[in-house]
Amino acid sequence: MVSKIIEVEADVAALADAADGGAADPGAESEWRRFVVDADGHGARLDRWLAARVPEVSRSYLQQLIAEGAVCLDGAVQSKPARRLRVGESLAIELRPTAQAQAFVPQPMALPIVFEDDHLLVIDKPAGWVVHPAAGHWSGTLLNGLLAHHAGAARLPRAGIVHRLDKDTSGLMVVAKTQRAFDALVAMIAAREVQRIYVALAGGPWRHPDRVGVDQPIGRDPRQRLRMAVHPPESGAAKPARTDIRRLDGGTPGRAEWVLVGCKLHTGRTHQIRVHLAWLGHPLVGDTLYGGRPALGMARQALHAVRLGLRHPVGGDWLAFESPLPPDLADAVTAAGLHYNPALLWAVRPDGEHDGPGHDRITGSA
């Protein structure tokens, strides 16, 4: 399916406040609030005590203000969120706009829209786009573009975003435009009723069955907080994660250096495909976080969300979408001497069943 590019114009309808995922007007002036620490507050942490008295903003927002010197105790600037309070102290806080507070604002951008109606839209996200504002990426995100695209986005949690792709993963995403669609899509994803198929280029050789299912819990890597990792099921430190994988080409004698695989998600853990393939011994090309190496001209991890299937959250019709491999990944596949045949992938079907032979399952320890 060919994407249509829609040039969007800013719609500066009122945004939700910070507590609801939105933010104040970026041009808003600072506001001072003053308190006196009562007996119940004696010995309390500064940030926690403030969070109970300024409930409309997040604790992380308050911690940022403290670090910026926006909080005074008895006239002296306090920069430590963990500072213990004493009864009778006078506290003043300047609620000022921060980069985080100004993140949830409309920014006109060209959205690569595959499908759109009154209740949802499907985006073919390019690699390099950040989906949601976060540290280091407070502007220019998909969320900012959605806020500019339609006024209803400002009234929805996360502007209607119900699932995410990593910054350097490309491909199909569904986004809600109404609260009814948002609630239904969240429930459908939790019930595993949204079918998501990916194509990945990884390092070989392939030493597994051509069709394999990985059931391995995923949680934060205790040695490197930026990474996720497979944990033993009994550890209690991870959530269940399941990925079905098909070898599409390569990884065999004579062509063992690279392998092209299809992946089907049954759960949606952070970095799930990247973690499961690395755990199998096949990190993605370009995915240096998980042991992959830059190669074949890929400047990012070689992962693309190629197919998406779901029932319309309001009308009930079956919707199926397909995105071609982006040029960088297509060129890398060719440079690896491999061939991408979409017919070898799972079809996205309303019955939700796997087509073709089953997958050998890998559970427990490797």
Query: Taking a C-beta distance cutoff of 8 angstroms, is the pair 244, 190 a contact?
Result: no
List the domain range (segments joined by +) for residue 331: 192-363
126 located within any domain? no
Range of weakest confidence among 16-25, 26-35, 68-77, 120-129: 16-25
248 located within any domain? yes
117 located within any domain? no
Are 90 and 198 in the same domain? no
**Cα pseudo-dihedral 146, 150, 152, 154, rounded to 10:** 40
Tell me the C-alpha distance between 197 and 186, whole Å: 18
Query: Taking a C-beta distance cutoff of 8 angstroms, is the pair 337, 191 a contact?
Result: no
Q: What is the pLDDT of residues 184-232, one digit of tens each?
A: 999 999 999 999 999 999 998 999 999 999 999 999 999 988 899 999 9
Tell me the C-alpha distance between 175 and 283, whole Å: 29
pLDDT band at 261 (very low <50, low <70, confident <90, very high): very high
Are 204 and 325 in the same domain? yes
Query: Active-site residues: which are they?
Result: 166
SS3 assignment for 82-134: CCECCCCCEEEEEECCCCCCCCCCCCCCEEEEEEECCCEEEEEECCCCCCCCE
164 located within any domain? no
Is residue 283 predicted with pLDDT exceeding 70? yes
Are 215 and 320 in the same domain? yes
Instruction: Return the pLDDT at 275.
Output: 98
Q: What is the pLDDT of residues 330-366, one digit of tens each?
A: 999 999 999 999 999 999 999 865 554 455 555 554 3
Tell me the C-alpha distance between 122 and 174, whole Å: 4
Q: What is the pLDDT of residues 169-187, one digit of tens each?
A: 999 999 999 999 999 999 9
Tell me the CATH number at 231: 3.30.2350.10
Q: How many domains does the chain have?
A: 2
Query: Taking a C-beta distance cutoff of 8 angstroms, is the pair 315, 309 a contact?
Result: no
Instruction: Return the pLDDT at 254.
Output: 84
